[in-house]
Amino acid sequence: MMKAICKYFKIFIETSPVPLLWRGVWVRFLLLIVLTSFVLPTNKKITIWMIGDSTMCQYDSSRFPLTGWGMPFAEYFDSSVTIENKARGGRSTRTFIAENRWQPIVDNLKEGDYVLIQFGHNDESKSYPDRYTTPEDYRKYLIKFVTESRNKKAIPVLITPVSRRKFDSSGNAIETHETYSKIVHEVAEQYKVPLIDLDQMSIQLLQQYGPENSTLLFMQLEPGENPDYPLGIHDNTHFNAYGARHIAELVLQGIDHLHLDLAGRIVHAKK
């Protein structure tokens, strides 16, 4: 049987109109087409665009151990993924747009790219009028990020603002973004946007660490402990390298649970 097939194939090759020299190349070319049609969908190069505030952004090593969760987050993807962390400290949805940080991203979005959106800390801070964004405007700007991403066939993902470290007197981690997290939920539901409830997830993480040990996740340094912060620092909003990694882990878990195509690009070690 095998012999017969081989013989038939030989006759086919010998009688085909393709010049002898090109036959091997031709076969290889066809093979390449067939193979890449299976491989391409998962290996297509994409970019994850990250927009948000100081809890997400990139920091220079001169501010170490201060770390935005976007920094460790970038360590977990395969080579098909480029991370563009465009988050900036102190920015609200409003100022991020007003400073023309959003339009250049829209201009560069490609089909299949992801846009991770996490704002709230500065939008909700009434004591900083230069950052403050009313709830109505916050909603409006989130919708703008979502619809303009989708116009470019990119995939927006809404993320509720990561929790601040705050416990009540009986040691329960409490909600610190009530109004603004709720707005993210509403926009996600109304526009059917994948949602990662980082606020809730991080509250659970803080609860797991408890009132004392949760300081280990944040920028909490004694005077003289670290040369970059000689006076010490007690910050319940910004994370150190250890805390930022834990927050990144929560977002990665969120991506897994949403069954986004992106989940297939996370590098998992074998069990």
* Residues designated catalytic: 54, 222, 238
C-alpha span between 177 and 161 (Å, rounded): 7
> Do 67 and 244 touch, CB atoms closer than 8 A?
yes
* Residue closer to other proteins, measured from CB, 68 or 93: 68
Does 226 interact with other proteins (rule: CB under 8 A)? yes
* Residue closer to other proteins, measured from CB, 79 or 100: 79
Shortest distance (Å) from residue 198 CB to other proteins = 15
> Do 83 and 48 touch, CB atoms closer than 8 A?
yes
Does 240 interact with other proteins (rule: CB under 8 A)? yes
C-alpha span between 113 and 109 (Å, rounded): 6
Q: Which stretch binds other proteins (CB under 8 A): 3-11, 30-38, 44-52, 220-228?
A: 220-228
Which residues share a beta bridge with 239? Answer: 218
* Residue closer to other proteins, measured from CB, 69 or 138: 69
Size of residue set near other proteins by CB under 8 A: 30
Does 268 interact with other proteins (rule: CB under 8 A)? yes
Q: Which stretch binds other proteins (CB under 8 A): 8-16, 71-79, 108-116, 178-186?
A: 71-79
* Site track 184-213 with other proteins (rule: CB under 8 A), x = hit: -----------------------------x
Residues 44-63 touching other proteins, rule: CB under 8 A, are 61-62
- Give the position of tokens 């897994």: 256
CA 63 to chain centre: 22
> Do 239 and 219 touch, CB atoms closer than 8 A?
yes
C-alpha span between 34 and 241 (Å, rounded): 45
C-alpha span between 266 and 268 (Å, rounded): 6
CB 37: neighbour CB atoms within 10 A? 9
Does 252 interact with other proteins (rule: CB under 8 A)? yes
Q: Which residues bind other proteins (CB under 8 A)?
A: 61-62, 64-65, 72, 75-76, 213, 216, 225-231, 233, 240-242, 245, 249, 252-253, 266-271
